[in-house]
Amino acid sequence: MDAEKNSPTPVTSPPVIHPAVAPLSFLLGTWRGQGEGGFPTIHSFSYGEELFFSHSPNKPVIGYTQKTWKLSSGEPMHGESGYWRPKPDGTMEVVIAQSNGLVEVQEWCGFRSSMDS
């Protein structure tokens, strides 16, 4: 496989950003890729995936949407959306609602130090 061909690539340029989200500015835009999925109890499958990270310049938050589809038919498989909110203490609050009804509420610690190094 050609690693460069299969690597996610941003297809939009990032906007002017709020200082609180500057450490995550490399994520802003649309990312697309393809993958292979599998698990011992199901047949392997190929899928397409799109992630979109957005930002309103006056808000210290990043919007997030994700969707996957079957490459063979284009049929939707999964979707989710939410928000990532960096905090001044180096933590980040993440809330994601999935199309299957699950909601994730997360707090990440030390994200700035790991991205700066």
pLDDT in tens, 17-70: 888 888 888 999 999 999 999 999 999 999 999 999 999 888 999 999 999 999
User: Residue 116 pLDDT more than 60?
Assistant: no
Q: What percent of the chain has pLDDT over 70?
A: 81
Those residues with Cβ within 8 angstroms of residue 33's Cβ, 6 or more apart along the chain or in another chain: 6, 7, 8, 9, 48, 49
Which H or E run includes 5?
A: helix 3-6
The pLDDT of 1-5, averaged and rounded, is 50
- What rounded mean pLDDT belongs to the chain? 85
Q: Which domains does the chain have, with CATH numbers?
A: 3-116 (2.40.128.20)
